[in-house]
Amino acid sequence: MTSPIVRFDPHPMVNGPLTTFNQVRPKILTDVVQRTMQDLSQIPSESLLSEALFLERMRMKRLRANLFTMPRKRRDQKLWGRVQSGIVRSAAEVDRKRMLEGVVGHLADEIGGHFNPKIYSFATAALPYGFSWLLNAASVQRFLPWGMTQSLRERLRIVGNVDEIRKLSQKGTILLVPTHQSNIDSLLIGWIIHLMGLPPFAYGAGLNLFSNPFFSFFMSNLGAYTVDRQKSNTIYKHTLKNYSTRILREGVHSIFFPGGGRSRSGAIESRLKLGLLGTGLEAQIENLREGKPNPNIYIVPMVMSYNFVLEASSLIEDYLVEAGKHRFIAIDEDSLPQAKLVNFLWKLFSSQSGVTVRIGKAMDIFGNFVDENGMSIGPNGTTIDAKRWLTTRGELRPEAQRDQEFTRELGSRIVDRFHKENTVLSSHLVAFAFFETLKARYPDLDLYRFMRLTLPQRSFPFKEFLESAERYHQTVMQAADRGNLYMEDELRFAPTEKWVRDGIAQLGIFHEAGVIKIHDQSVYTEDMSLLYYYRNRLTGYGFGDEVKK
Amino acid sequence: MSHKPFWRNSKVAVIGAGSWGSVLANLAAPNCREVRLWTRSEEQARAINATRFNAQNWPEMRLHERIRAISEPERAFEGGVDVVIWALPSIAARIQAKEFAKYFHGQEILLHATKGIEAGTLKRISQILREEIPCPRVGVISGPNLAKEIARGEPAATVVASHYKEVIEAGQEILTNDRFRVYGDEDVIGVEWAGTLKNILAIASGALDGLKLGWNTRATLITRGLAEMVRFGKAMGAEEGTFLGLAGVGDLLATCSSPDSRNYRVGYGIAEGHKLEDILKNLGSTAEGVGTAETVHKFAQAKGILMPITEGVYHLIHQDLTAREVLHKLMTRPLVE
C-alpha cells in the first residue's frame, strides 16, 4: 500500500545539522585526527605505518584506476612515497608520531564529506523531474494500460513507519540501516530521505561510486563521505570509525549499509559488519556522559525490494566463485556506466514495476524498540534507561568487551528485523518456487551439480509448476500473517496464474536471458545463476522445508 | 586491576530461598555489603530473620548475618541492587520472570542457577530471562554443586558462563571463598545444556542402582551418556570442550553418583517398581530431569540426533517399559562398527 504521508511534490529542504556542516567540517576533522591518534597511542607508530604502507602498496598495485580515479590514486601514491622515504630514515630524524598524524589527517580528509545546501536543493528538485521525465517518456511509448497517468508515487512506494522516523529525527539522531542490493540504493536513498520530509542524512558511500564524476560531484556535496573497503589497514579503520562517531555526535543523521557491500547471493543480509555499527553506541555513550540534551541514537532498519536488480548477474557470479573455490577475485571497481544505468532506470520505471521501500520499526542502540517519543520499550511493559544499561561497576562509561557484545546483539536484532520488514514481490516468490520445485526433482545433487543441469533437465510442465507455486504462496502468506514478513498486495490477492506470470514478466523486463520462461506448456530456466540469485531473497525463513512437509 | 572494592560494597538479591538459593546467599554474604534473600512466603522470611536458619531446607546451616529474608519483591530491589542471583526452578521460569521484570533497572548482573529448559520451546533459562526482563547482562552458574556438601563447607568448584566479562567477574568476586572456586566460561549454550541434560542421565543412574548393578554398568552409562550430551549440545550450538569441564562431566559425575539428587531418586524409585506420581509426591519438590527427558527425546527424534539412553529414560518415566526392559533394549542395540 502506498503511504499517503510521503510528499511527492517538490518541497523545500528541511534544515538539519548537516545544513551547516561545512562550517564545522574543519573542527570535526581535527577532532577525528586527535581521537584517532589517541586510539592508536598504544601501538608503536612505526609498526602502524609499516603495516599500512605494505597494504596500501599491495592495494595500489591491484587497483585499476580509470580516468576519474587517477588523481586520487596519484595523491595516495605521493603520500605513501613520502611515508616510505620517511620510514627508512632514523626516528631521530623523522618523528614517527608526526608522520602518523599526517597520514591520519590525509585519510580523514578523504573520508570527510561536504555538504552544499544549494546543490542539495538543486538535486532534490531535479531528480524527481529527471525520473518523471524518464517515466512519462517511457509510459507514452508503452501506451496502455498504465499510460501517462502513471505517477511516480506508484513506482517508488515508501511504506512503514515514516511518521515515526520523522518524529524521532527531532528527538535524537537517526542511524538508518538499509539492506544493500544494488548501487542504485545509494542514489535512491538520498531522495527517499528527502521525500519523507527529513533533513539531509550523511552516508558512507563506497569509493567506487565516486569514480563517476557525475555522482561524485553530487554525492560529495550531499553529505556522503567515502568508505573505501579496499583499505584494510588499522589506521584507516580507526579513522573511519571515529569520523562516523564524530558526525553522529554532531547530531547528523546517518546511513550505514550494515552488511558492508551489496549482497552477493541476493539474500537478505544475515551477517553484519559490526565495526561501523558500534559507532552508534560509542556516540550515545559520549553524548550521555557529556549530558547532551538529545543524546539518543535511533537505529531504523530499511528494506528495499526490487523486482529485478541491476547488477544481479555479476553479483551472483562473484558469490558462486567465492563460495565454490575461494578463488582470488581481482578488484573490480565496478563503476556505474551511465548507459547501463539509464537503461536500468528506464526499464524500472517504464514497466509496471517499481521499488518498495519499507521503513522499519525504530530501535535503540541495544535493539529494543522505541516508541514515537523516543522511549526505549522493554519486555512486560517496562521502559529502559540507557544510562543504566551502560553502567558498569556503578559508572556510566564505555567498556570495550561489553559494548562489543551489545553491538553483536544489536546486529542480530537488525538481521531479524530485515527479514521481518522484507516485502515479498512476485518475482521473488516465483523464482523461489521454481528453484525449489526443480531442486526437489533432483534431491541427490549438490548445489554445484544442480546448477549445471542441461536445458531439458531444467524444465517441467507449467501446470505442475502452478500447483507447486500455489503451495509456496500459501506458506509465505501464513508467514506474513504471523508477522514474519510482508507481501505486496498484488501478490497476496492475485490468483496463482496471474502472479506467476507477472513475476516471470518482471524478471524478463531486465534480463534478456530467461530467468524463467514458459513455452509450449512447459516452464524452464535459461540462467540458473540468476534464478538462484532471485530465489535467495527468500532464504532464511525456512520456506523450503515447510512446503516439503 | 582489581575491582574488589566495588563488589565488596555491592548489594545482592537472591531470588528463591530453596536449598540452592540459601546456600548461594551464604556464599555471597561474606563477599558483599548485603544479601536480600527473597522468598514468596512471608512466614518463611520472618522465620529466617528471627532464627537465622532456613528450617525447611537447612536446619543445620546458619545463615550469615548480612542476609535479610524479604517476601515483597519491591523491597528486595529497593534502591537498586548490583547482582541478582536467580535460584527458582525451571518450571515457571517465564511466568516468574514476567512478574519480576518491573523491578529491574538494567544495570544489574543477573546470574541464574537453574538447571532445566522450557518445555516445548527448548529455550534455555538465560534466553527466557533475556526475553522477559529488561536486563541484558545475564549469566549462568552451573557445576558439580550438590547443595548439601557446599552447605557443609566441603571444597567444590563451579562455572559462571556469560558473553559478558563483567558477569563472570561478578560471579567470581561474589561467590569465591577458600573452599569454593569459580571458573569463567563464554560458552553459555554449552554450560546451560550440560546442566540440563545431565539430569536425564541422573535418572538413568538412579535406575541402575535401583537394579543393584555395579560400577561397570554405571561407567558405561556415564560415558555413553556423555557422548549423547555432546551430540545434542553441538546440535544446539554448544562447544564440545564445555562438556569435558566442570559444568559437563563434572556435574554429571556428581549427580549420577549421589543418592541425594532428586533425579537420581526418581530413577531409583522407578527401578524398584514404584509409580512416578508417588515418587514425585514423596520427593516434595520437582525433579527437572522428568520434563527434560520428554522434551529432549522428542526434539532429538525430530532432528535425527541419536540418543538411545535418553529414549530409554523417556520410556522409564512414561512407565511403558520397566528398567530391566530398557536396559535390555540398550544392550541389544545393533553393534556400532
Tens digits of per-residue pLDDT, B22-60? 999 999 999 999 999 999 999 999 999 999 999 888 888
Would the ipTM clear 0.85, i.e. be above it? yes
What are the chain A neighbours of B136 within 8 Å (beta carbons)? 366, 389, 406, 409
CA–CA min distance A388, chain B (Å): 5
CA–CA gap between residue A354 and residue A344 (Å, rounded): 12
In this predicted structure, the answer to whether residue B322 has a pLDDT above a threshold of 90 is yes
pLDDT (tens digit per residue) in B78-134: 999 999 999 998 888 999 999 999 999 999 999 999 998 998 889 999 999 999 999
Give the pLDDT mean for A91-119: 84
Residue A36 is predicted with a pLDDT of: 95
pLDDT of residue A392: 96
Sign of CA dihedral B240, B241, B247, B252: positive
Q: What is the pLDDT at residue A75? A: 87
Q: Which helix (H) or strand (E) holds B262?
A: helix B262-271
How far apart are alpha carbons B143 and B159 in whole angstroms?
6
At A21 the pLDDT is 75
H helix and E strand count, chain B: 16, 10
Q: Which residue has the cell 537420581?
A: B264
What pairs with residue A202 in β-bridges? A254
Average pLDDT over residues B143-159: 95
Identify the closest residue of chain B to A396 by CA–CA distance.
B107
CA distance A243 to chain B (A): 27
What's the pLDDT at A187?
73
Please give, rounded to a whole number of angstroms, the shortest distance from the CA of B196 to a CA of chain A. 25
The H or E element containing residue A176 is: strand A173-178
| pLDDT at residue A433 in the model | 96
Residue A147 has pLDDT above 60, yes or no: no
pLDDT score at B276: 92
- Which of A7-11, A253-257, A476-480 is the least confident region? A7-11
Helix (H) or strand (E) holding A157: strand A156-160
Cβ contacts from A onto B, under 8 A? 53
Measured in angstroms, the CA of B137 and the nearest CA of chain A are apart by 9
Q: How sure is the predictor about A94, in pLDDT bands with cuts at 50, 70 and 90? A: confident
Provide the pLDDT for residue A151. 52
Which of the residue ranges A186-190, A274-278, A530-534 would you say has the lowest mean pLDDT? A186-190
Question: Which of B4, B198, B303, B329 is labelled catalytic?
Answer: B198
- pLDDT 10s digits, B250-262: 999 999 988 888 8
Q: Is the pLDDT of residue A17 over 80?
A: no
Q: Which residue of B has its CA nearest to A376?
A: B134
Question: Between residues A458 and A125, which one has the greater pLDDT?
Answer: A458
| Site of grid cell 553530487 | A218
Catalytic residue flag (residue B198): yes
* Angle B128-B131-B136 from CA coordinates, rounded to 5°: 105
Q: Is A379's CB within 8 Å of B3's CB? A: no
Best of B83, B108, B163 to substitute, by most chain A Cβ atoms within 10 angstroms, is B163
Q: Quote the pLDDT of residue A155.
A: 73
- How many Å apart are CA A283 and CA A35, to the nearest integer? 13
User: A388 at the B interface (CB within 8 A)?
Assistant: yes
| Tens-place pLDDT, residues A204-230 | 766 666 666 666 666 666 667 777 878
DSSP three-state, residue A291: coil
- For residue A408, the chain B residues in CB contact (below 8 A) are 163
B164 and A402 within 8 Å at the Cβ level: the answer is yes
pLDDT value of residue A324: 64
pLDDT at A154: 65
**A391 contacts B102? CB cut-off 8 A:** no
| Separation in Å, CA of B95 to nearest CA in chain A | 11
Per residue in A71-82, pLDDT (tens digit) is 788 888 999 999
Question: CB A382 to CB B107 under 8 A?
Answer: no
Query: What is the mean predicted confidence (pLDDT) over A465-493?
Result: 94
Q: How far is CA A388 from CA A373, A397, B135, in A?
A: 19, 10, 9
Q: Is A118 exposed, middle or buried (0-12, 13-18, 19+ CB in 10 A)?
A: exposed
What are residue A523's phi and psi, to 5 degrees? -125, 140
Q: Give the whole-angstrom CA distance, residue B162 versus residue A39.
A: 27
Q: Is A326 a residue whose pLDDT tops 70? A: no
- Which A positions 407-426 lie with beta carbon below 8 A of chain B? 408-409
Q: Return the residue in A380, A384, A403, A409 with the most chain B beta carbons within 10 A, the one to mutate for interface testing.
A: A380
C-alpha span between A490 and B152 (Å, rounded)? 71
CA A286 to chain centre: 26
State whether A382 and B163 contact (CB < 8 Å).
no
Q: Which of A380, A394, A401 sits opposite B101 (nearest CB)?
A: A380
In which band, very low, low, confident or very high, does the pLDDT at A322 lie, cut at 50, 70 and 90? confident
What's at B61, amino acid-wise? Answer: M
**CA-closest candidate to residue A243, choices A223, A259, A215:** A223
d(CA A503, CA A491): 9
pLDDT confidence tier of residue A13, bands split at 50, 70 and 90: low
Inform me whether the pLDDT recorded for B205 exceeds 50: yes
Instruction: Enumerate the residues of chain B whose CB falls inside 8 A of the CB of residue A403.
Output: none
User: In sequence order, which residues have a C-beta less than 8 Å from that of residue A74 and are 6 or more positions away?
Assistant: none
Closest alpha carbon within chain A to B132 = A379
Nearest to B260 by CA among B118, B151, B158: B151
Smallest Cβ–Cβ distance between B98 and the set A366, A368, A380 belongs to A380
Residues of A in contact with B186 (CB under 8 A): none
Using an 8 Å CB-CB cutoff, list chain A residues near B104. 382
pLDDT of residue A145: 38
CB contact under 8 A, A402 and B98: no
If one compares A54 and A208, the residue with the highest pLDDT of the two is A54
Instruction: Select the more confidently predicted residue: B84 or A28.
Output: B84
State the pLDDT confidence band at A1, using cuts at 50, 70 and 90.
very low
Q: Both ends of chain A: CA-CA distance in Å?
A: 32
A391 and B107 within 8 Å at the Cβ level: the answer is: yes
Q: In angstroms, what separates the C-alpha of A376 from chain B's closest C-alpha?
A: 10
| CB interface of A with B, residues 41-80, below 8 Å | none
Res B175: pLDDT: 97
Cβ neighbours of A392 in B, within 8 Å: 166
Residue B137 touches chain A, beta carbons under 8 Å = yes
- Under an 8 A CB cutoff, do B166 and A366 touch? no
Tell me the C-alpha to C-alpha distance, in Å, between residue B70 and each of A3, A406, B13, B35, B75.
54, 33, 10, 10, 7
Q: Comparing A70 with A432, which gets the higher pLDDT?
A: A432
* More confident site: B157 or A124: B157
The kind and range of the H/E element at A341 are helix A338-350
Nearest to B101 among A379, A402, A406 (CB): A379
How close, in Å, is residue A393 to chain B by CA atoms? 7
CA–CA separation, A448 vs A110, rounded Å?
A: 42
Query: B-chain residues within 8 Å CB-CB of A382?
Result: 101-102, 104, 134
The b-or-e profile of A226-262 (16+ CB within 10 A means b, else e) is: bbbebbebebbbbbbbbbbbbbbbbbbbbbbbbbbeb
Query: Is residue A72 within a helix (H) or strand (E), and if so which, with residue range?
Result: helix A70-87
Of residues A87 and B1, more confidence is placed in: A87
Tell me if B105 and A385 make a contact (CB, 8 A cut-off). yes
- Write down the pLDDT at residue A226: 76
pLDDT in tens, B193-203: 999 999 999 99
Question: Which pLDDT value is given to residue A214?
Answer: 63
Q: Taking residues B57-70, what's their average pLDDT?
A: 93
CB contact under 8 A, A392 and B102: no
Substitution target in A281, A402, A403, A416 with the highest count of B β-carbons within 10 Å is: A402
**Mean pLDDT, residues A318-345 taken together:** 60
- Supply the pLDDT for residue A210: 64
**Among A459-468, A508-517, B24-33, B196-205, which is the least confidently predicted range?**
A508-517
Average pLDDT for A383-391:
96
Output the pLDDT for position A352: 62
For residue A380, list chain B residues with Cβ-Cβ distance below 8 A: 98, 101-102, 132-134
The mean pLDDT of chain A is 84
Q: Do A394 and B165 touch (CB under 8 A)?
A: no
pLDDT reported for residue A148: 33
Three cell numbers, residue A342:
539509464
Q: Check: CB of residue A17 under 8 Å from CB of residue A294.
A: no
Among B164, B167, B169, B186, the strongest candidate for a mutation testing the A interface, having the largest count of A CBs within 10 A, is B164
